[in-house]
Structure 1
Amino acid sequence: MFAMLRYAPLLAIPAFSSVAWAPPMIRMVLLMAVAWLTVIAAPSLTPMPYWSDGGGLLLACSSELLIGMTFGLAIMLPQAGIGMAASVADMQAGLSAASLLDPGGQHEPETLLGSLLLLAAVVLFFTLNLHVQLFHLMAESLRVLPLGAVGLRLDPEAFMAMVGSSFLLGLMVVAPLMIGLFAVDLAVAYATRSMPQANVYFLALPLKIAAALLLLAATLAYVPALIERVFQDALARLPSVFGA
């Protein structure tokens, strides 16, 4: 039960899981399998006295769930940072207007660059074996934070540093794109001042979209390394979040 609670945010809870796209039955089977392997590989545990008490057992379960949520946030925060930066670039390029004409949308605005980079982030997460590194960290956490222990101490300052770093590094993924589009905006602003009678915005919109796609194609070779850096930084900050 303790092992399932520790892995539940990563494998079963859609808000934190990186495999939320998988069917619920697959996620539950994977959760039980990983929890069982964890119990087999974990060192022998002595039952704690507070496990027999309702309040102590609830506190131990809450501690395990909090550990799993922290590991889940180490994956969700980089994705949120990349998605936020891509959404800003989408808005800057004018591609966000496409969500107004999307008949298949489920009342949730989706951006072209955001969806593209998030899909690339999911693929790279498994291609670069970052999921293996994540589960190595969780296996190491069994030695530092045994199952059912209540001695969890989270560092709020380290957690906020992980949040800020994830969004800052996510912004670096699309920084060349945003700088190039800013230069296009300056040229469009100059043209607007020169020809106030023309509707330069709609005339320049195809130019901005073309510039965004060209800049994305030009920087595509550097995107995998940048996305890996976002995830690696979040995973490297996990020990400090747990007070190590």
Structure 2
Amino acid sequence: MDALQSFVALFVFAMLRYLPVVALPSLSPLGWAPPTVRIALLLVLAWLTVLSMPITEPAAHWGLPLGLVLAGLGELLIGMTFGLALMVPNAALHTAGWLVDMQAGLSASNLFNPNGTGGAESLMGHTLMLASIVLFVTLDLHLLLFSGLVASAQWMPLGSVDIRLDPAGLFGLLGSSFLLGLMVVAPVVLGLFCVDIGVAYVTRAMPQANVYFLVLPLKVAAGMALLALSMWFAVELIGRLYRDSLQRVPALFGAG
């Protein structure tokens, strides 16, 4: 394999590594951008990464078709792992919002939705995810993501096939993300719990009244108000949630 073929192979490997979190709308923080912009950014990042790398001899398995295929699949695996570091915090925030929906009574809105398809929708979960998209860009977390992708080419060379995932790193990512996601809505959960205690006393005093439907608007209003107030303090927690997730990416590959 000559120098030109080696350069092309490295360029393709870099594109495959950056593809999931740069071009795929479901994983990329730039999913709102037009496809042309995402593809152009993908090409530029791959080109600059290859140009910044020192000149090295191509690996032996690059001369075999099966070796190239395995190396390409390995690069996609690395990119998908970085995408996982974005999907898990999003899932944690959505689950936390779903918990608030259940406690505030917003989940009952699915019963009165004439356009419902039978699937449960989380209003607070969508709200938290929209807020996280804004904060991800505002707090420059996208720069942390892209710098981590570029730095990964130093400790995991392009085109390598020796890639091992560590289950302990995955469990650590899941536990930390969902714990931080619960901390974001903890003030709302505690506030609604106090409202539930008051509703219990009212139910005890007036057992003949349908207190649930009478207090439901109050609980919904209290949940939205508490969530709006907690967002002033949740900015740092959401930023910490994504930073912790991205910093755990090396642990997913067994790095200390």
Give the TM-score, by structure 1 length: 0.92
CA distance in 2, matches of 1:111, 1:157: 30
> Among residues 65, 68, 76, which one is paired with 1:65 in the alignment?
76
Number of matched pairs: 244
Give the equivalent residue in structure 2 for 1:131: 142
Instruction: In structure 1, list runs of 5 or more residues that go unmatched.
Output: none
CA distance in 1, matches of 2:111, 2:47: 47
CA distance in 1, matches of 2:90, 2:225: 23
Cα shift readout 1:61-118 (whole Å, capped 9, x = no counterpart) = 1110111011111111111101110111022112233455567778764432222211
The one-letter amino acid paired with 1:155 is: D
Question: Does residue 235 of the first structure (1) align with residue 246 of the second (2)?
Answer: yes
Would you say the 8 A contact 1:10–1:17 is kept in 2?
yes
Higher Cα Rg, which structure: 2
The one-letter amino acid paired with 2:23 is: A
Q: CA deviation at 1:191?
A: 2.0
Cα shift readout 1:121-143 (whole Å, capped 9, x = no counterpart) = 11111111111111121121111
Alignment of 1:20-99 (within 5 A): 20-99=31-110
Cα shift readout 1:27-50 (whole Å, capped 9, x = no counterpart) = 222222222222222232421121
Alignment of 1:1-244 (within 5 A): 1-99=12-110, 109-244=120-255
CA distance in 1, matches of 2:38, 2:120: 27
Would you say the 8 A contact 1:10–1:16 is kept in 2?
yes
CA distance in 1, matches of 2:113, 2:33: 25
CA distance in 2, matches of 1:3, 1:162: 25
The alignment yields a C-alpha RMSD, in angstroms, of: 2.0
Instruction: In structure 2, list runs of 5 or more residues that go unmatched.
Output: 1-11
The one-letter amino acid paired with 2:131 is: A
Change (3 A) 1:29 1:194: same
Q: Determine what percentage of the aligned residue pairs are the same residue.
A: 53
